[in-house]
Amino acid sequence: MSKTKILVTGGTGYIGSHAAVELIQAGYEVEILDNLYNSKIEVLGRIEEITGVKPRFYDVDLRDAEALAKVFAENKFDAVIHFAGLKAVGESVEQPLRYYENNVGGTVNLLECMEEYGVKRIVFSSSATVYGVQESPKYVESMKTGGEISSPYGKTKYMIEEILKDTATADPEFSATILRYFNPVGAHPSGLLGEDPNDKPNNLMPIIMKVATGEIAELSVYGDDYPTPDGTCIRDYIHVVDLAKGHLAALDKMDEGVQIYNLGSGHGTSVAEIVKAFNIASGMELPYRVVARRAGDLAEFFADPTLAAEKLGWKTELSIGDAMRDTLNYLEKQGLSLRQ
């Protein structure tokens, strides 16, 4: 019997590469499409080192409809997992059109190809950011989305979710699973895959990695006067391997129409607790300074992961400590040493 063939867009990126590994290890045939804007071709060799399989790769930009159609013409994909997109929140405020063109425009091209070539299933990387501001910090899938989303990046995720719903309404055979990620952290336990520390960091963990190696002098903690127990913001950090496994569960359990799941641990962790966990795992004292709040930050939010547990049989298994250990191992394997 031939293997189920999956197109992974953004598959050389941080989350996509981990998902590619899990898919290959579960017996799927994986092909990766990426324009390498925010990832490196070496990732393919790393995936091969871990799994023994080097996925076929297309250096294609989703905005290039002609090149994309060629990929679909050459293959019969059973499903698409769609990670490709720009993700820097601050940058999206400065360059909104670029974000709408890349994320929304790229997805429309992808969906058009899927329609033309009869590919009916997609799993999409959405984000907890689509919840915007809610009455409760515990986000449930049934909450209304789209209100007070703080960035154009977040709005692209909301818009794509709506586009997927409309596509499913128009075509009863089309099905989409929307996965709303909370805050991905950690690295592959092999130390071969992780969030590339060479890139300009935007999120907390990549910045901590650069502070740990001495490339950045200190961590700026954005505010300690929030209404939380230690005054720093609370988020739901999820190990990237747990997150990757959520995609397997989503593919295995694809249903008719549109399904939406939170992928988070259900537990909130503060910035101060993250720093403490990093110090325990590394044995170093991460230098930090409390600075003013960052515009748009919410004091606290975390996932209600009940639906994913019930319907997908998925829940997180790894801890913040595991994420710190794997991040440190990844740094070491990249030849980066911790500051003295």
Catalytic residues: 153
Residues sharing a CB contact under 8 Å with residue 340, sequence separation 6 or more, in sequence order: none
Of these, 12, 102, 103, 127, which contacts ligand WQD (CB under 6 A)?
127
Which of 306, 271, 304 has the alpha carbon at shortest distance from 289?
271
- Token look-up 């170093």 returns 284
Say which entry of ligand NAD, ligand WQD, none residue 303 contacts (CB below 5 to 8 A, set by partner kind): none
Which of 248, 122, 108, 105 has the alpha carbon at shortest distance from 173?
122
Told to check if 94 binds ligand WQD by CB under 6 A, we report: no
Rounded alpha-carbon distances, angstroms, from residue 12 to 6, 95, 113, 143, 328: 14, 24, 21, 32, 21
Of these, 6, 8, 110, 221, which contacts ligand WQD (CB under 6 A)?
221
Q: Which is nearer to ligand WQD, 51 or 203 (CB)?
A: 203
Say which entry of ligand WQD, ligand NAD, none residue 297 contacts (CB below 5 to 8 A, set by partner kind): ligand WQD
Q: What tokens were used for 11?
A: 């598959």
Minimum gap (Å) between residue 211 Cβ and ligand NAD: 18
Residue 52 CB-density burial (10 A; 0-12 exposed, 13-18 middle, 19+ buried)? exposed
Say which entry of ligand WQD, ligand NAD, none residue 235 contacts (CB below 5 to 8 A, set by partner kind): ligand WQD
Say which entry of ligand WQD, ligand NAD, none residue 38 contacts (CB below 5 to 8 A, set by partner kind): ligand NAD
Minimum gap (Å) between residue 287 Cβ and ligand NAD: 24
Task: Tell me how far apart the terminal alpha carbons of the chain are, to the nearest angstrom.
Answer: 55
The C-alpha torsion from 70 through 75 and 77 to 80, rounded to 10°, is: -30
Told to check if 129 binds ligand WQD by CB under 6 A, we report: yes
Minimum gap (Å) between residue 8 Cβ and ligand WQD: 18
Q: Which amino acid is at 135?
A: E
* Closest residue to ligand NAD, based on beta-carbon distance: 13
Minimum gap (Å) between residue 204 Cβ and ligand WQD: 4
Binding site for ligand WQD (CB under 6 A): 87, 89, 127, 129, 154, 183, 203-204, 207, 219-222, 233, 235, 271, 294, 297
